[in-house]
Structure 1
Amino acid sequence: MEKTDVLISGLGPVGAALAVYLGRLGISVMAIDRDTSVYPMPRAAHIDHETMRLLHLAGGAEAVSQASQPLSAYEFRSRDGSLLMGFKPGEVTTATGFPQSSMFHQPTLEHALRARLGEISGVSARLGHALKSYSASDDGVVAEIAGPDGAYGVETQYLVGCDGGQSAVRRIAGIELDDMGFDEPWLVIDARLKDGRERLTTIGLQHCDPRRPVTSVPMSPGRHRWEFMLRPGETPEEVVGDEFIDDLLGPFVDPASVEIDRRAVYRFHAVIAKEWRKGRVMLAGDAAHQMPPFLGQGLCSGTRDAANLAWKLAAVLQGRADEALLDTYQAEREPHVRAITEMAVFIGKVVCMQNEKEAAARDRDMLSKPEGERFVVMPDTIGLASGVQRGDVLAGTIFPEPWLETGEGRKRLDDVAGLAPILLFRDGGEAAASSFRAGGGFAMALSDPSLLDEGDRVKSTLADSEAVLVRPDRYVFGRGEARNLLAAWNAYLASGTSPA
């Protein structure tokens, strides 16, 4: 019987990121996947700046940056091309230093994460191995794995299902799904542009035509995606034919100018698992939640799951936190996911309107508003409502990332701090900082000359406070006196309850 601290079932981008985080934190990990290689076609297409920062901590951001392109706008247009609503990027440079919204190539990310996995001792990735069954107790999980050479057993402290929408981990645990009332069939077409062309546009488009709603978005350089909603009576077998697809693409591009990589019918739906943790078993990514793609937040949400869960598992396994901390995983992540999913469902219902009269009324209502109210700056997703200090307006928001001047040149703060919590403090906080470092945290004085606070983002975050404490997933935990922040942080680790 083999043993590992954490067994991860599913080695897509969420499972791989989780494995990297845990490995970097000193936790032994076995990650299994039934497939023997990365799926060669992109599935997720959009990534936001917050997720890019988290992927940088996992070793995937650089590869993604080289295989992505920022969106210049995301527009919703009527049948006649009128702008119903839309989003545009805000700041040229975000608080994380990454583009606010980018279209990327998922296989590139997965290859980069798996390469990073291979560099971390204590992490084992087993391809062509699938979870058959498991039994969980208060002391751990015993899993049966089917491998190329037969079945074998694994004892683990925790099992995490990152095994997608049809999750075997979720099914065996008997965890039910909360259906949020959206289920529509769409044909997805991924294509490569011929003759060396890099892009058709930098704008993501929702063509809200009741005759057939269409999504058209650039992907990584040289690639484009179209999604066509199926009409009543159409079958998946019918719509994937060459002639049918050429007719669909004709209004948007010369079909001869693209080479189709993938054609598949998917059901866009919205479900959230009712339990993300059941004792020693947890769910992350699509195993825990699935949302329509209209906000491009599926992979982003799964990556946030991994970043939230990894440091908590490590803290519990290493004796630095009570197991009650794991109960905060769903409590912190589900409101975020539910808010995004509800917005994606709302937008989906706007886009998917197929009744001519209802669509005409929708258009009149939306166009009656000034364009300045309909075409707005792309908002960031909501932050954390729990797991942070109450009463601080910046608690639960993403902490801006400064650069540091090191002996090896300029580096991001995250490159130096790693996956540790961070304490940045003014004069007077050194005693608390020493204690914080002794507990595994990264602490730095605001006066340190190596801290390059370009645009005074860090100083603006601290405002008049002595210190700011940042969680390992890079949300602001709170601001105030350093010693009080440290006491509140330790209380949170010990109890899993949000500090007052």
Structure 2
Amino acid sequence: MEKTDVLISGLGPVGAALAVYLGRLGISVMAIDRDTSVYPMPRAAHLDHETMRLLHLAGGAEAVSQASQPLSAYEFRSRDGSLLMGFKPGEVTTATGFPQSSMFHQPTLEHALRARLGEISGVSARLGHALTSYSASDDGVIAGIAGPHGAYDVEAKYLIGCDGGQSIVRRIARIELDDMGFDEPWLVIDARLKDGRERLTTIGLQHCDPRRPVTSVPMSPGRHRWEFMLRPGETPEEVVGDEFIDDLLGPFVDPASVEIDRRAVYRFHAVIAKEWRKGRVMLAGDAAHQMPPFLGQGLCSGTRDAANLAWKLAAVLQGRADEALLDTYQAEREPHVRAITEMAVFMGKVVCTQNEKEAAARDRDMLSKPEGERFVVMPDTIGLASGVQRGDVLAGTIFPEPWLETGEGRKRLDDVAGLAPILLFRDGGEAAASSFRAGGGFAMALSDPSLLDEGDRVKSTLADSEAVLVRPDRYVFGRGEARNLLAAWNAYLASGTSPA
């Protein structure tokens, strides 16, 4: 029987990112997927700057950056075109250096992640192989897998279900879903622009017309997506016809100027798994949660799952942390996912109003506010509420990424630190830094001449503190005296409880 540290069921972008993270941390991984190739059509469309940073750690951001375009605004407009609410990028460069919002091409990301997988020893990707069953014990999991040459078993210490909304891992574990009360059918149309045209617009639009709500968003250069809410009585078979689609597209674009790549009816759900971990079995991405697309946070949330889970699994498997640390996975990630999902549901309800009187009341209420209150800077997503030092206003926020001057030229801090926790310190913290390095951390003095702190972002983060400790998933763990931070970090690894 074959053995591996971690078996991942599902090799979409979340499963692939998780496999890369674990492989880079020295964990043996077998990742399986029932399909034999990357799905050729884009599904997810949006990445925020924090997720781009995490994907850079997985080796996918450079390819995505070359096949994406920033979003200049995201607007919700009434039937007559009045601005109900909207979001625009901030004027200041993001803390990560990536665009605040990027509209991207998902297959490009998946190919890049799978190429990175192939470069990591100890990681095996098996396409055309599907999980059929498993039994879990306190010591691990025995999984049954169907491959192109027959069935076989694999023994793993942990099984991670990254296998989508219909997750077989979740079903076998009998994990129930918390339904947040949103379930609407939409027709999704992905199109390529003809004659070399790169874009119709750089603005994402929610057309809040009660006769038929419509989403219109640019994708990667040369591509565009429309989503049309189905009316009562319309069937999936009816709405995917050429003539029907041409009528839908007519008010927005000349149908002859685009080539349709995909037409499909989806139900936009809002559900969250009640358990993300059952012993040696865990869920990530759509297997753990699904949200309406109105915030573009589905893949972003799954990538955050992978980044949170990977370093904890590695720490436990390598004996640097107690298994109780894995209980923090859902405790830290679910509040983040739930808050984002609730906001996406709110936005969806604004968009999906089909009652004329309710839509008119919605418009009057929203338009009664000054435009300055309706059109605001895109907010960053919320940070962590646990797993960080209490009482520190910056704990749980994303740490800004500086550049380093190396013998090979300028590099991002993440390129040098990898997936290790980071300690940046002022004079006086060297003793704690040495201990931190011995435990696998990356430590650097703020006075190091190779640190290029443009805009003094790192100095501003430290403020008057001696040091700042950053988690491997790039959230600020806390600030203070270096030795106290290290003690709190070690206590967190040992117990999984948030430091005081």
- Which contiguous aligned blocks of 4+ residues in structure 1 show a shift greater than 4 angstroms? none
Distance 1:220 1:321 in 2: 41
Tell me the SS of whatever aligns to 1:182: strand
Distance 1:365 1:490 in 2: 51
RMSD: 0.3
Tell me the SS of whatever aligns to 1:320: coil
Distance 2:202 2:343 in 1: 23
Distance 1:92 1:71 in 2: 15
- 1:293 aligned residue: 293
Distance 1:87 1:284 in 2: 29
Encode CA deviations 1:116-171: one digit per residue, 9 max, x unaligned. Answer: 00000000000000000000000000000000000000000000000000000000
Distance 1:323 1:258 in 2: 53
Tell me the SS of whatever aligns to 1:5: strand
Distance 1:83 1:140 in 2: 54
Tell me the SS of whatever aligns to 1:457: helix
| Number of aligned residues | 500
- 1:60 aligned residue: 60
Encode CA deviations 1:44-97: one digit per residue, 9 max, x unaligned. Answer: 000000000000000000000000000000000000000010000013410000
Tell me the SS of whatever aligns to 2:385: coil
Distance 1:466 1:365 in 2: 49
Distance 1:82 1:250 in 2: 21
Distance 2:89 2:278 in 1: 40
Encode CA deviations 1:175-202: one digit per residue, 9 max, x unaligned. Answer: 0000000000000000000000000000
Tell me the SS of whatever aligns to 1:152: strand
Distance 1:361 1:8 in 2: 48
TM-score under structure 2 length normalisation: 1.00
- 2:478 aligned residue: 478
Distance 2:3 2:461 in 1: 44
Encode CA deviations 1:434-485: one digit per residue, 9 max, x unaligned. Answer: 0000000000000000000000000000000000000000000000000000
Encode CA deviations 1:277-300: one digit per residue, 9 max, x unaligned. Answer: 000000000000000000000000
Distance 1:451 1:343 in 2: 38
Tell me the SS of whatever aligns to 1:107: helix
Tell me the SS of whatever aligns to 2:132: strand
Tell me if 1:17 matches 2:17.
yes
Offset of 1:103 from its aligned partner? 0.2
TM-score under structure 1 length normalisation: 1.00
Query: Following superposition of structure 1 onto structure 2, how do residues 377-456 of structure 1 map, counting pairs within 5 Å?
Result: 377-456=377-456
Tell me the SS of whatever aligns to 2:97: coil
Distance 2:37 2:181 in 1: 34
- 1:177 aligned residue: 177
Distance 1:332 1:357 in 2: 41
Tell me the SS of whatever aligns to 2:143: strand
Distance 1:356 1:239 in 2: 23
Task: List runs of 5+ in structure 1 lacking aligned partners.
Answer: none
Offset of 1:115 from its aligned partner? 0.0
Tell me the SS of whatever aligns to 2:37: coil
Distance 1:315 1:102 in 2: 32
Determine what percentage of the aligned residue pairs are the same residue.
97
Tell me the SS of whatever aligns to 2:228: strand
Encode CA deviations 1:325-350: one digit per residue, 9 max, x unaligned. Answer: 00000000000000000000011001
Distance 2:411 2:162 in 1: 31
Distance 1:182 1:269 in 2: 6
Tell me the SS of whatever aligns to 2:103: strand
Offset of 1:43 from its aligned partner? 0.1
Encode CA deviations 1:402-459: one digit per residue, 9 max, x unaligned. Answer: 0000000000000000000000000000000000000000000000000000000000
Encode CA deviations 1:244-271: one digit per residue, 9 max, x unaligned. Answer: 0000000000000000000000000100
Distance 2:91 2:336 in 1: 23
Tell me the SS of whatever aligns to 2:22: helix
Tell me the SS of whatever aligns to 2:182: strand
Distance 2:441 2:21 in 1: 16
Tell me if 1:141 matches 2:141.
yes
Distance 2:46 2:465 in 1: 36
Tell me the SS of whatever aligns to 1:30: strand
Encode CA deviations 1:383-403: one digit per residue, 9 max, x unaligned. Answer: 000000000000000000000
Distance 1:365 1:309 in 2: 42
